[in-house]
Amino acid sequence: MTKQNKAFKFRLYPNKEQEELLAKTFGCVRFIYNKMLAERKEIYEKFKDDKEALKEQKFPTPAKYKNEFPFPKEVDSLALANAQIHLQNAYENFFEGRAEFPKFKTKKKKQSYTTNMVNDNIKLENGYIKLPKIKKPIRVKQHREIPADYKIKSCTISKTKTGKYYISILTEYEKNISTVKIQKVVGLDFVMDGLYVDSERGEKANYPRYYRQALDKLAKAQRILSRRKKGSTRWEKQRLKVAKLYEKTANQRRNFLHHKSKELAANYDAVIVEDLDMKSMSQALNFGKSVHDNGWGMFTTFLEYKLKEQGKQLVKISKWFPSTKKCSRCGNEKEMPLSERVYKCICGLVLDRDYNSAINIKKEGLCLLALA
């Protein structure tokens, strides 16, 4: 039996008093995070050329600011402690080359804080959830049950730009996951206009491109917003309309990706994809909107955890593997400009370029599985 984690996300409906306390917590977490980051940034600028001296420096903790300012004492102390942990993780990611230098938080974007389960301080029952520092339980729309043997570890409360509140409950449970014998395998080649092409029948996922569909509405709504006086009642109403359009597009995309990843995880024992750098691809090839619209990174994340839960595998092959240039029949390689949509080989193979790539990705993945 191994310990597994799973998160459940529900909509929250706080009353006015609870909204005020949540807003205060969001603000305090953001304030403490930014204060700690400002000091860390100052230390980094001073010792960035001397790594050994930088490692020896002591960084500030939330306790320091509680003595200087009274308001952080009014909110959940675990939320402030988690802000310190998040900053530490962001710092480590920067030093290990996985991310850019941490940025300051702003209230203009999505707001959130995380608290932990300590001595049963979080309770979910009868459509309400009790959270630390909030006297009355908050109403929650629990659309699915959390199994009784799942233990709550932490909760992340968030507020979207449209003013909606959500809670993500992280749970821990024990499960005996046995590795599935790999029999059915599929290779997926990323495509801009349909998410992916599979290696079995050359079929596309037929992703509807929700962002592209909403572009005209978004452009019109943003033009109206630009004419409003910032901060006025009419500006706020229009800002909310724009935020709702973006939120709807994001929800449609997430829903589609969940369904497609679930379908693949149910039908195959291993799925093989390329380990692509989507950010570099969008910048180098000017495909920013298409890459953003597809949500390939989110799709592979969903696919990975859904396969893992069933003892199956997601295999990522190198992004430098010449899946587009290589013939899937004879292995011959040739240059393939983006304008050329059909792969024609000297061996007589004539195939859609994406279908050919998907077959090559599958073959390379099978080699990696055999080596493993």
Give the catalytic positions in this structure: 189, 274, 354
Start-end of H helices in 206-232:
210-227
Closest by Cα among 280, 319, 296 to 197: 296
The pair of three-digit structure tokens given for residue 317, joined into one six-digit string: 């092959």
> Could you tell me if 45 and 96 are in contact, meaning their C-beta atoms sit under 8 angstroms apart?
no
What's the number of CA atoms in the CB half-sphere (13 Å) around residue 271? 31
Sequence-distant (≥ 6) Cβ neighbours of residue 165 within 8 angstroms: 11, 12, 13, 14, 19, 22, 157, 158, 159
Beta bridge partners of 140: 12
Phi, psi of 309, rounded to the nearest 5 degrees:
-60, -25
Got the DSSP string for 291-353?
HHHHTHHHHHHHHHHHHHHTT-EEEEE-TTS-TTTB-TTT--B----TT--EEE-TTS-EEEH
> Could you tell me if 256 and 208 are in contact, meaning their C-beta atoms sit under 8 angstroms apart?
yes
